[in-house]
Amino acid sequence: MPEECGERCTETCLCSLEGIITTVSKKWALLVINTIGHYQKLRYNEIMHELHNISPKALSDILKRLEREGLVRREVFKEIPPRVEYSLTEDGRELRRMVIPLLKWASNRHNLNVERCVNRYRRVRLHKIKDEQ
Amino acid sequence: MPEECGERCTETCLCSLEGIITTVSKKWALLVINTIGHYQKLRYNEIMHELHNISPKALSDILKRLEREGLVRREVFKEIPPRVEYSLTEDGRELRRMVIPLLKWASNRHNLNVERCVNRYRRVRLHKIKDEQ
DNA sequence: CAGTATCCCAGCGGATACTG
DNA sequence: CAGTATCCGCTGGGATACTG
């Protein structure tokens, strides 16, 4: 095998795979982050409506995970009927920003464009990230 | 819901999730890419040795997938005994470069460092990406 | 409204044995 | 050496019904 690089190179631990990367790779994660980020604040059923083929359990699961990871904030209002609002934390917004270049690169490689969206996300209205200016 | 942003913002389709992102999120993907990238060229059993708790099937599966995605190149030498060498394509190297900032960011958030590596990757020697200078 | 509670299934990923 | 072939358990994720 070729020799390793010298002592002076910085190392980035793949252990972070256990956290964020694993979370991001969950099926609905980026879609939920993107949707919340797009509207700033959203209620549970509004997200359900936005991603209209997600099950309540799937949404509940991913929201809890995103909250645990510190990417999404959950705000409960003591009202009847109950109201809960979801928004992105600063980290969540930052992640959204960081993932865009990767997505862009991936899109280009496969020459995907609006017309070519024929997969499982087709019916999801907000399945595109709008870059903030 | 708050209003959407104007017509002038660029859109990045999450459909690319179907490709690269899905691949990258596979358990051994980044580890394999990183290992091959680190040594430039590696043979099947060398990778096995490097990631010494991966099964032959798991490695075979992920290598095929990475090859299909155009991230890894497979070179067969007609010899006896057979020799096969794996290396990164330009896209593979580019991906490796692109993921590093994300990993760095993730590592920082969780204050992970060499000492704190107590998870499933612990016994994998090359579970850290060395940044190319 | 904002979720749980259940049930269920496909398929990823692991272990092991075998082969051109 | 570089993989396949098999078997198999786990769990991510979906559908549906129900609740504080």
**Mean pLDDT in consecutive groups of 10 residues from the start of chain A, 133 residues:** 50 79 88 93 95 91 94 95 97 91 83 58 76 57
Give B16→chain A minimum CA distance, Å: 5
Measuring alpha carbon to C1', the residue closest to nucleotide C15 is B55
pLDDT at residue B120 above 80?
Answer: no
Res B5: pLDDT: 47
Q: How confident is the model at residue B133 (pLDDT cuts 50, 70, 90)?
A: very low
Query: What's the rounded mean pLDDT across residues B37-66?
Result: 93
CB contact under 8 A, B12 and A129: yes
pLDDT at residue B8 above 90?
Answer: no
Res A83: pLDDT: 97
Token pair 């993932």: residue: A99
For A19-126, CATH number?
1.10.10.10
List of E strands, chain A: 11-13, 41-43, 72-77, 83-88, 128-130
Mean pLDDT rounded to a whole number for chain B = 83
Query: pLDDT per residue over B68-107, tens digit each?
Result: 999 999 999 999 999 999 999 999 999 999 888 888 888 8
pLDDT at residue B112 above 70?
Answer: no
Bases of strand C lying below 7 A from some protein CB:
1-6, 12-17, 20
Q: Hey, is A116 helix, strand or coil?
A: helix
Positive or negative: CA dihedral A49, A85, A92, A21: negative
Res A5: pLDDT: 46
As a whole number of angstroms, the distance between CA A29 and CA B7 comes to 25
| B 58-77 near A (Cβ less than 8 A) | 70
Per-residue CB contacts under 7 A with strand D, chain A residues 44-103: 53-58, 61, 81-82
Res A20: pLDDT: 83
Query: What's the rounded mean pLDDT across residues B112-118?
Result: 56
Domain residue spans in chain B? 19-126
As a whole number of angstroms, the distance between CA A38 and CA B53 comes to 42
Q: Which residue has the higher pLDDT, B34 or A9?
A: B34
Per-residue CB contacts under 7 A with strand D, chain B residues 82-111: 82-84
Query: Are the C-beta atoms of B28 and B65 separated by less than 8 Å?
Result: no
Res A99: pLDDT: 87
